[in-house]
Amino acid sequence: MMLNPSVNHVYRSQAAELAAAELAVTADFASDIAPEALGAGVGLRFSAEEIDELVLAQQSSHMVTFERAGELLRPLDIRSANVMDDDLLTIPKYQGKTNEAFTRMLLHLTLSWVDRPGPLDVLDPMTGRGTTLLAAWTAGHNGYGVEVNGKAFDAMTSYLKTYLRTKRLKHSAEVTPVRREGRSVGRRFDAEVRLAEATSRTPARPGMPTLAMTVFTGDTRDSAALFGKKRFDAIVTDAPYGVVHGAATDRSQRGARRCAAPSRERRPGDLLAEAIPVWRRQLKPGGALGIAWNTLTLPRAELVSMITDAGLTVVEGEQWQFAHRVDSSIRRDLLVAISKVN
């Protein structure tokens, strides 16, 4: 399996190791997985009696898969699993954006533990400018979110409206006020894209899904109150990294995405300790939580303790080797935890 060259920029020398870990966790048909140079590119070698083409297509770093035939490599016709164009994710460029390759990997790993047919309902309770929700749409799932920062909310809604108009996709998208007791307490964004319907650019595509998105402005700790009785198949989020840049916290550097007006001294773990029990109540039985965080500001054992105390079971095993260096102050890791079926 040849890896997309863009992941080398994201993960540097760890690209193949992370791709191998993702394949090992999500593809039970693959064995003897190992990195291998493919000309000027990087790939993974693995053995399989039979392959699941959909699982391979869903790998976040996948570009093309070959079958070895003697000394030759024969490309397999594995089609993209995406229902929307990649540029939905790649067009936005801004300081602090979580790279879309990593977001795809976190989303894929999380959804691989949800045993029900899609489209699934995916919540990012720390939405930022919506990278997780855009990844969910690209993969054919509904996206929901909560974002405390009004500017990030505006940037996300403006971008998506423009994108849907430019692509001439059948859609609806609007921002409306949220009122409580006669006064405005925030805003909500509702969008729907109807991919099966014909447009001026493309014919009808029978069988393609209709996807929904709803995002509220507000504090992540109020997520359950904002969404009421709605429950989600998966919660996928990139937690605060807790890095101070000059006079500003990581919150401002990352699109002001994480929490409501924290002090400079507040640890990311403090917010997560309050938020995780709220998120737990929003998961359906059999749902999964996927979270990425900076291990230099929040030790893994501490986060695992928060999650297990909330009643979730962390998925562990020797294949779960996803920690990697982002820069001198960020060492990012991820984990997935599941809600047991009643």
What's the CA gap between 248 and 262, in Å, rounded?
11
Please report the DSSP string for 69-90 in residue order.
Answer: ETTEEEE-------SS-THHHH
What's the CA gap between 1 and 67, in Å, rounded?
9
Let me know if residue 57 belongs to a domain. Answer: yes
Cα distances (angstroms) measured from residue 339 to each of 119, 263, 285, 311: 19, 32, 5, 7
Number of structural domains, the chain? 2
Residue 252 is part of which domain span? 87-338
The verdict on 21 and 123 lying in the same domain is: no
Cis peptide before 177 (omega within 30 of 0): no
**pLDDT at site 164:** 96
The verdict on 164 and 313 lying in the same domain is: yes
The verdict on 207 and 114 lying in the same domain is: yes
What's the CA gap between 285 and 318, in Å, rounded?
26
The verdict on 173 and 268 lying in the same domain is: yes
The verdict on 170 and 41 lying in the same domain is: no
**The CATH number of the domain where 325 resides is what?**
3.40.50.150
The verdict on 206 and 328 lying in the same domain is: yes
Let me know if residue 80 belongs to a domain. Answer: no
What's the CA gap between 3 and 11, in Å, rounded?
12
The verdict on 70 and 93 lying in the same domain is: no
> What are the beta bridge partners of residue 47?
31
Domain end point (choices 51, 75, 99): 75
**pLDDT at site 217:** 97
Q: For each of the chain's 342 residues, which pLDDT tens digit applies?
A: 999 887 756 666 788 899 999 999 999 999 999 988 877 788 899 999 999 999 999 999 999 999 998 888 899 999 999 999 999 999 998 887 778 889 999 999 999 999 999 899 999 999 999 999 999 999 999 999 999 999 999 999 999 999 999 999 999 999 999 988 778 889 999 999 999 999 877 788 999 999 999 999 999 999 999 999 999 999 999 998 875 433 233 333 344 444 444 443 457 789 999 999 999 999 999 999 999 999 999 999 999 999 999 999 999 999 999 999 888 888 999 999 999 887
- Least Cα distance to 258 among 114, 118, 71, 128 occurs for 128
The verdict on 177 and 276 lying in the same domain is: yes
The verdict on 232 and 153 lying in the same domain is: yes
**pLDDT at site 256:** 41
What's the CA gap between 85 and 87, in Å, rounded?
5
The verdict on 147 and 116 lying in the same domain is: yes
Element (H, E) at 240: none
The verdict on 96 and 136 lying in the same domain is: yes
The verdict on 206 and 136 lying in the same domain is: yes
Q: What's the angle, vertex CA 325, arms to CA 114 and CA 151, rounded to 5?
A: 70
